[in-house]
Structure 1
Amino acid sequence: MDFADWFLTQDERDNPATRLGAWTTGNLVRPLIHGATYFAELKTCLDSVRAHDLVLFADWRGDPDERLADGGPQISEALSGAAARGALVNGLIWRSHLDALRFSAEENRHLGEKIEAAGGQAVLDTRVRPGGAHHQKFVVIRRRDDPDHDVTFVGGVDLCHSRRDDAAHHGDPQAAPMPDVYGDSPPWHDVQVAIHGPAVAEVETVFRERWEDPAPETRQPFRRLRDHLERMDDVPALPPPGPAPGPAGTHAVQLLRTYPYRRRPYPFAPRGERSVARAYQKVLRRARSLVYLEDQYLWSTEVIEPFAEALEREEELRMIIVVPRHPDQDGWLAGPASLIGRSEALRRLKQAGGDRVAVYDLENHAGTPVYVHAKVCVVDDVWASVGSDNVNLRSWTYDSELSCAVVDEEPDPRPPAGGRRFARELRLTLAAEHLDRDPDDVDDLCDPKAAFEALAESARRLDAWHRDGRRGPRPPGRLRPHPAPELGRVRKLLAMPLYRVAVDPDGRPSDMRRSRRF
């Protein structure tokens, strides 16, 4: 296999300032479906960290009291415990917007304070564009005496409330604020990956580039004073990086990122970086049979255009999309602002692909909507991506993001030929859950057309059961056809400025924005 057919080359990344390589081979990547699965494995890894090991993490939201398992520990206890045992624990935590806006300014600060009190180091990082965020969510664990067990976790799961849900989707007992339609314990669908092998060192490089940025973490005098008084403004140098871990598997991994263009540029991305967007554009030009997408937002017609062009080019190409039924904001203007982009994006995809485009949302067995927070894409069962980025302009241009793209050297032996084991098994694992099937009973879904029809039939049966007043046994499955968003003309007009400025802003340099390049 020529990985350059599927991955960006170094030139195609269009960021010569980064220290990242184009891609690495010899990795082992394991999908961790659901926050509970990820948190259990993270707990085991942190429990085993010893003196002089290295723990690095980046987080969008961090709730210090979030439990990694039913009996604990809390995330702050697990990280602080590692620091107390002599590990070097360093965190890059976004300096969030205010709690009153359903963000996490105080929680993020408290997590950093607890880590600092135990001897670790935490930075509240607001080196973003106005209104932007550091949205990367990853953990790196390097072991001084046991490099074969170095690991990194990359994906969409924050170290915070609501994320510790499992396949039953009863929700995390520690819930983050969400619209009432999701209930007291919002069901939450999410995906992370655990990576062993040379790519661990590459994720460490992502952290080091941000940590070593000489710009102050904030330019606001009051915040800088508070950081100084609380001793959170020191950024000690990290020890020199060790050698990359040795080969662990058959997976080639490419790290994809977004950094915005800033007038005070990042030294590791002076014009920003949009390799997430560029990777999607490249891989979608190769799409022939099936694009499977799980996404929290799916906003912006400009971002959705490469998907639409692929559907128009390939008459046999199908697209399956899984999104949340309701947005995570429900205000009179915030709700419509969240739906404007999705309404236009779905209209464009349907125009391009017609009945070859299927859009679903999820519910648990009690009928409560499941909030889809996952960011997963599988193309032709060859290329798979799991990360922090959503399909919108904000994630492709404005916020910092990190995604892991995987191409397996090992072919999948099941027909149709051409699939690779990692990508196909990831898609089938997700489909098995959504269909209430045994994960070992999904071989018939290898064929893209069969999978497309199986999901459609399951959603039709469940929707008919709801329309019939839920009489009789509930059909298996969790998929519901996603209704087209309905927006009144007045509310849409009033919400449009909020959508353009705050919900889905554009972080490209002006020349790229004008030419619609990424």
Structure 2
Amino acid sequence: MEQAVDDATLDASAVLVPGDTCWRVETADRLSILMENEAYFDALSSALDKARRSVVVLGWQFDPRTRLDPETRAGDRQAEIGHRLRMMVKTRPELDVRLLIWKSPLLIAASQGFYPHKAQTWFRKRMVEFRLDSPGPIGACHHQKVVIIDDEVAFCGGGDISVDRWDSTAHRDADPRRRQPSGVISPPRHETMCVMSGPAAMALGDLARERWFKATWERTVPEPAGSDPWPDGVPVDFERVRVGIARTEPAYGGRIEVRENERLHLAAIRGARKLIYMENQYFTSPVIAAALAERLAEPDGPEIVLVSTGRSPSWFDSMTMDTARAEVLFRLETADVHNRFLAFSPNTRGGERIIVHAKVTIVDDRLLRIGSTNINNRSLGFDTECDVAIAPEDAAGRERIRAYRHQTIGHFIGISGESFAAAEAVTGSTGKAIQESDTGRMTPLGAIQPSMVQRTIAEFQLGDPVSTADAFRPWKRRNRSQRPLPQTS
């Protein structure tokens, strides 16, 4: 194993250390960022058309009623992904299609609107191999979102194939294209995926094969088709770029714990010089918070900017994750003696909350990370996760990361990436440029005073285990609040 990275002056590419901060580092011949599921679903649809030998899907959620093209008529069975996969196998007998989806508990499945167990009836003729998979530990989930086609092209990120996940960069209020089979229009949602080809895609295929074996005891082998299922219309952002693949896996049944995602976060935070930019669904990890607070205490440390959902859409997440996030925000606000930390939640033009489901970290515009890992305890040690990270060594690659960061921030504000870049250049600060935007679409996100019940939930991090060792022992992960107790008269 190579030596771990501790020196903050090292180049970002040195953060990708096989056996420490990542599982493997492989080259992607091509890699592109897909912002929003409009881009992901379009690219996936095109790549599926070109599949010749194999399609493998790893998912937290999968709904066979999903229409990759929202312009098709709701209820059109021909447009649904489940029917499409069946027809692909029927018309291409040499094609092997496998789906490995988390076997979610019934209560969680009910909240998703579709029981994954029902998907088995869609594929009951075994034309498509559909399996439900449990990671083992009670309460843990499979959270990886990966699709591999012909071992030539792979998608990885935070997006699920489900009826409530499509949205565009416009995040239009009440967009009829977000209509679910029930008739309900899903709330606006921000997602990020990436697509890659070459050895990096093959490596993600290896990851999927290992998952399939653990779940089914069936061995599969790589079968490159010599094809090029690269999706039409997707411009190449990076060429011949090294890709680090980082995992999270819980300890169970004699298998060792894998915490590569946590170590990658910590190494990147230690190595940051100017800016740490994060988009994430959750922000509750005390370990990550401590690392960020340490950098904020430095006189010349990096600026830290967070974008997350204003309020979680589910009651459970609101009580657990949002409450714990308030404690993390309080800790960082307290540590921010040099005024370098800002957090925001995005809204539509009409003021509706945008659900930030993306899991993106950009450090100094030199390191870009996209995956399924939330910044909470369970994503760093209790669930299964898969992220990819790149650190281009050429100026053009770094400029492309910077342009993407400007693009994603600008789309939240409602301006172009170029306009945000100009504002950032004037202010000299990413956070201040967001603050001084006059569109009103980015709401400051700060610590709120919790009730005693919320404070208890946050201190014991209920619903957010660190590992299998403390899954049902919340007292072992108690993170005492740094807030002073309220005064009583």
Q: TM-score range by the shorter chain?
A: 0.7 to 0.9
Cα distance between partner residues in 2 of 1:316 and 1:275: 24
| C-alpha distance after superposition, 1:404-462 (max 9, x if no partner) | 111123214xxxxxx8134212211102212222234444366593433211112xx4x
- One-letter amino acid of the counterpart of residue 505, structure 1: P
Displacement of 1:123: 1.4
Matched, 1:337 2:345: no
Residue 178 of structure 2 is aligned with which of 173, 183, 196? 173
Structure 1 residues 330 and 184: alpha-carbon distance in aligned structure 2, compared to 1, 3 A threshold: farther
Partner of 1:76: 82
Amino acid at match of 1:201: M
Kept after mapping to 2: 8 A contact 1:83/1:115: no
Which is further off, 120-129 or 247-256? Answer: 247-256
Q: More displaced, 76-85 or 370-379? A: 76-85
The aligned amino acid for 1:202 is A
Find the counterpart in structure 2 of residue 485 from structure 1: 448
| Residues 367-516 of structure 1: pairs in structure 2 closer than 5 A | 367-412=351-396, 420-444=398-422, 447=425, 449-458=428-437, 461=438, 476=439, 478-493=441-456, 495=457, 500-501=461-462, 503-507=463-467
Match of 1:57?
A: 57
- Matched ranges for 1:311-326 at <5 A: 311-313=296-298, 315-326=300-311
Write the distance in 2 (CA, Å) between the matches of 1:509 and 1:5.
Answer: 33
- Name the SS of the counterpart of 2:276 in structure 1: strand
CA shift in 2, pair 1:105/1:203, >3 Å: farther
Cα distance in 2 for residues equivalent to 1:339 and 1:484? 10
Say how many residue pairs are matched: 444
Q: Give how far 1:29 is off.
A: 1.7
CA contact (8 A) 2:55 2:148 kept: yes
More displaced, 394-403 or 92-101? 92-101
**How do 1:289-308 residues align onto structure 2 when only pairs under 5 Å count?**
289-308=274-293
The letter of the residue matching 1:439 is G
Residue 326 to residue 380, structure 1, CA distance change in 2 (3 Å): same
C-alpha deviations, 1:55-96, integer Å up to 9, x for none? 011010111111111217212123222222221001110001
Query: 1:200-215 alignment to 2 at 5 Å?
Result: 200-213=201-214
Residue 382 (structure 1) shift: 0.4
TM-score by length of 2: 0.82
* Whole-angstrom CA distance in 2 between matches of 1:244 and 1:489: 61
CA offsets per residue over residues 267-325 of structure 1, 9 Å max, x none? xxx21211000111111111110111001010132332222222223534111110101
Residues 148 and 204 in structure 2, CA contact (< 8 A), matched pair in contact too: yes
Distance in 2, Cα, partners of 1:200 & 1:432: 30
| Separation (CA, whole Å) in 1 of partners of 2:366 and 2:227 | 25
Q: Does the 8 Å contact 1:296/1:324 carry over to 2?
A: yes
State the distance in 2 between where 1:237 and 1:100 align.
30
Q: Is the 8 A contact 2:10 2:271 kept in 1?
A: no
The answer as to 2:237 corresponding to 1:237 is no
Structure 1 CA distance, aligned partners of 2:378 and 2:112? 19
Q: Which amino acid aligns with 1:43?
A: S
Q: Distance in 2 between matches of 1:105 and 1:366?
A: 26
Q: What's the counterpart of residue 105 of structure 2? A: 97
Tell whether the 8 Å contact from 1:169 to 1:188 is kept in structure 2 after alignment: yes
Change (3 A) 1:11 1:237: closer
Q: Give the Cα–Cα distance (whole angstroms) in 2 for the partners of residues 398 and 244 of structure 1.
A: 37
Residue deviations 1:101-153 (CA, integer Å, cap 9, x gap) = 7545953223344245361212100133111100001100017xxxxxx2111
> Which one is further off, 94-103 or 156-165?
94-103
- The 1:245/1:350 distance shift into structure 2, 3 A limit, reads farther
- Asked if structure 2 preserves the Cα contact closer than 8 Å seen for 1:318 and 1:353, the reply is no
Q: Please name the residue that 1:141 is paired with.
A: 149
The verdict on how the C-alpha distance between 1:343 and 1:496 changes in structure 2, with shifts beyond 3 A counting, is: closer
Structure 1 residues 225-250: Cα deviation after superposition (integer angstroms, max 9, x where no partner) = xxxxxxxxx76532345499999813
* 2:266–2:288 contact (8 Å) kept in structure 1: no
Separation (CA, whole Å) in 2 of partners of 1:370 and 1:422: 25
**Could you tell me how far apart the structure 2 residues matched to 1:129 and 1:302 are?**
22
Query: Does the aligned pair in 2 maintain the 1:375–1:388 contact within 8 Å?
Result: yes
Calculate the TM-score normalised by the size of structure 1: 0.78
CA-CA distance at 1:27 after TM superposition: 3.3
Correspondence list, 1:163-202, <5 A: 163-170=165-172, 173-175=178-180, 184-202=185-203
* Equivalent residue number for residue 261 of structure 1: 251
Q: Give 3-state SS (helix, strand or coil) of 1:408's partner.
A: coil
SS of the residue 1:124 aligns to:
strand
SS in 2 for 1:131: coil
Partners of 2:330 and 2:352 lie apart in 1 by: 26
Q: Which amino acid aligns with 1:125?
A: D
Residue type of the alignment partner of 1:55? V
**Distance change >3 Å, CA 115–CA 440, structure 1 → 2:** farther
Tell whether the 8 Å contact from 1:141 to 1:151 is kept in structure 2 after alignment.
yes
Are the aligned partners of 1:97 and 1:103 in contact in 2 as well (CA < 8 Å)? no
Whether the 8 Å contact between 1:329 and 1:338 is mirrored in structure 2 is: no
The answer on whether the counterparts of 2:424 and 2:433 sit within 8 Å (CA) in structure 1 is no
Contact kept in structure 2, 1:64 and 1:107, CA below 8 Å: no
CA shift in 2, pair 1:478/1:337, >3 Å: same
Displacement of 1:371 in angstroms is 0.7
| In 2: Cα distance, 1:439 partner to 1:5 partner | 25
8 Å CA contact retained: 2:285, 2:377: yes
Distance of 2:204 and 2:388 partners within structure 1 = 9
Q: Is the 8 A contact 1:80 1:118 kept in 2?
A: no
Contact 1:271 1:509 in 2 (8 A): no
* CA distance 1:500–1:454, change in 2 (3 Å): closer
Distance in 2 (CA, whole Å) between partners of 1:26 and 1:185 is 34
Match of 1:303, SS state, is helix
Quote the Cα distance in structure 2 between the aligned partners of 1:390 and 1:487.
22
Q: Unpaired runs of 5+ in structure 1?
A: 15-19, 144-149, 178-182, 218-233, 413-418, 462-475
Give the Å deviation of 1:49.
2.2
Kept in 1, the 8 Å contact 2:41–2:68? The answer is yes
Q: Summarize the Cα distance change of 1:4–1:324 in structure 2 as closer, same or farther, 3 Å threshold.
A: closer
SS in 1 for 2:15: coil
Distance 1:154 1:100 in 2: 23
CA RMSD, aligned part only? 3.1
Kindly provide the CA deviation profile for residues 158-203 of structure 1, in whole angstroms up to 9, marking residues without a partner as x: 01122101112135634599xxxxx953111111111122200111
In the alignment, structure 1 residue 131 sits paired with structure 2 residue 139: yes
2:29 to 24, 27, 30: 27
